[in-house]
A = this chain, B = another copy of it.
């Protein structure tokens, strides 16, 4: 077999990179669980008709087939790999609606697959970390305030390993829709689709498209752009939108509802996560199932990477005809975050293996003595490996050094008179070597497990 080459769009990390990723995953999970979200996993596959239910052909679904189809099994449903965790979660909620308690708070951290053209920060296989809160029949607005604040806390907890601060941009569909209808534009979806292009093509081109594609007058287009230009991290933004709407005689009940909600979110965010949440009236999010708050998140200083955490409120996450399940949630693009942390050299692991200690082997005949030391240390929770061979100590120390293992343990060897000398442990960074007993020795707590730290 020739040396294989990586597959574009299917990232894999070396062991030290995986330690960074694992730390990110552990931190997210811990934060989600502190907030009472229950973890679930769903299968990787869904029936194709479910995957395409929302017309999501743009996600480039991967279809499955079997190399050897069994006879009479051809009627199996066509299956595809899930391209997000929302579609599977909606199916899971319906399938288990009688067995889960609502409102249901769940997190889900899994790989998803999209056959898109790979590029910087866009993969064909990547990890998402989602939280959602789903209700049966109803879901109070305060969950739309809570969900982004949980994500702010989760992403904020990663700052200590070198993740840049995040900015969560929020908007409310009711504000946009209420405003557009108030100024006489009925094609709300169409207008949102054009506004969504602002960052890419700029206000002039968007203005043209609003006129040619959405039937807006020049004045209506101008009003839409004026709304989209409003942003801010305090409740002043609400007054600003209202003033703009009043100047166009465009204050509607829907707009007022949306402004009340947006104001509550901005106000709570200013108190609970100061400086993180910004109301940005141009955030549109393409997906037409959002019905209230919408969220996007950028890494400050890495805005061109795109959103690393997006989501919103949907009045119909799932429905089985009898019951409707509204939900609100956000999804972190974990692989996008981790690949930036690694490629931009923002974070690194203090070593590439779990072991804090390498127990040296004096001779193969005395390997059992080294195994016994290792067992005694592990019994007290210290990660340890035993040297692969009874090579010269210099070579054994080099084995530890290559992996970043900070300590090498030398079991006491029998002297000429037959008495066994004391064990010794060497900190190979400082060269300090001291007598030690496996039953009591403890590494400094910062050396016990590999840590992830900002790269100097």
Contacts and interface: CB of A to CB of B under 8 A. Distances in A.
Interface of A: 1-7, 10-15, 18-19, 21-22, 33-45, 47-48, 50, 53, 57, 60-68, 70, 77, 79-81, 91-92, 94-97, 99-101, 103, 105-106, 111, 113, 115, 117, 125, 135, 140, 142-143, 146, 268, 271-272, 318-321, 352-355, 364, 367-368, 371, 375, 378, 381-386, 388-389, 399, 402-403, 449
A53 B1 contact: yes
Q: Which 7 A-B pairs have the closest CB atoms?
A: A36-B385, A36-B355, A33-B354, A10-B43, A15-B38, A66-B115, A61-B67
B354 A36 contact: yes
Contacts of A140: 388-389
Nearest to A66: B115
A289 to B, nearest CB: 13
A12 B106 contact: no
Nearest to A361: B142
A63 B61 contact: no
How many copies of the polypeptide does the oligomer hold? 2
A34 B67 contact: no
Contact of A99 (B14, B66, B70, B94): B14
Nearest to A69: B115
A96 B14 contact: yes
A45 B383 contact: no
Contact of A111 (B18, B44, B67, B99): B44
Given A3-B320, A6-B95, A18-B40, 17 more contacts: A1-B53, A1-B320, A3-B95, A4-B95, A7-B47, A10-B45, A18-B41, A19-B38, A36-B354, A38-B354, A44-B111, A44-B125, A57-B67, A60-B68, A63-B66, A64-B81, A272-B371
Given A12-B43, A115-B67, A36 B1 contact: no
A354 B96 CA distance: 19
B41 A12 contact: yes
A13 B319 CA distance: 21
A352 B384 contact: no
Contacts of A320: 1-3
Contacts of A61: 66-67
Contacts of A383: 33-36
A272 B375 CA distance: 9
B66 A12 contact: no
A449 to B, nearest CB: 8
A67 B95 CA distance: 26
A67 B80 contact: yes
A313 B45 CA distance: 33
B39 A22 contact: yes
A67 B4 CA distance: 27
Greatest chain B CB density within 10 A among A38, A47, A319, A375 is at A38
A268 B378 CA distance: 18
B95 A14 contact: no
A60 B66 contact: yes
Contacts of A36: 353-355, 383-385
Given A15-B38, A67-B61, A388 B103 contact: yes
Nearest to A375: B272
A68 B57 contact: yes
Nearest to A357: B36
A242 to B, nearest CB: 23
A79 B67 CA distance: 11
23 contacts: A1-B50, A1-B53, A1-B94, A1-B320, A2-B321, A3-B94, A4-B91, A4-B95, A7-B45, A11-B43, A12-B40, A18-B40, A33-B354, A33-B383, A33-B449, A34-B354, A43-B125, A48-B67, A57-B67, A62-B67, A146-B386, A268-B368, A272-B371
A33 B355 CA distance: 7
A272 B105 CA distance: 44
Contact of A62 (B6, B64, B371): B64
A380 B14 CA distance: 34
A451 to B, nearest CB: 14
Contacts of A319: 1
